Amino acid sequence: MKRQRNVNLLLMLVLLVAVGQMAQTIYIPAIADMAQALNVREGAVQSVMAAYLLTYGVSQLFYGPLSDRVGRRPVILVGMSIFMVATLIAMTTHSLTVLIAASAMQGMGTGVGGVMARTLPRDLYEGTQLRHANSLLNMGILVSPLLAPLIGGLLDTLWNWRACYAFLL
């Protein structure tokens, strides 16, 4: 039972990390459509990524100590709740300023995945199992941002740029 629970937690963690990585790049093929829909220059839409990356990095400084103090689960739930609310805002906005703020909130939320990808495996595994868990996590970290623009381009072509954000939910 404990082994199955650990496998489920690891799969959840891979998805958590993958969503965080995908959120950075999924909308890149849709930048032109986003700019047109928001009535701004394409270059202005690029600030969405900067806002995400800034808060993604900074938030990790807080999630680690917080998860040591209050536990991993509550911190993951708070981080992903922030991400989901921010993604809904990004998906429905008609303002670049709001989109940038929502992207910053997304980064703040998904920063939890970056921290938990390093701490939870050590909590759950040792030795060879830890190496296997870290390998699986690293695959999620490496593959998801490569697939995200392909998925984003397809979603934008079939629907519109907002579908990229809907996919992340």
Sorted by where each begins, the domain ranges of the chain are 2-168
- pTM value is 0.91
Residue ranges in the chain whose pLDDT is less than 50 = none
Give Dmax over CA atoms of the chain in angstroms.
54
pLDDT in tens, 118-156: 898 888 888 998 898 889 888 888 999 899 999 999 999
Give the per-residue pLDDT at 9: 82
The torsion region of residue 39 among left (phi > 0), alpha (psi -120 to 50) and beta comes to: left
How far, CA to CA in Å, does 6 sit from each of 9, 19, 49, 77, 129? 5, 20, 33, 18, 11
Question: Given 3.40.50.10860, 1.20.120.430, 1.20.1720.10, 3.40.640.10, which CATH number is that of 2-168?
Answer: 1.20.1720.10
CB 168 within 8 A of CB 23: yes
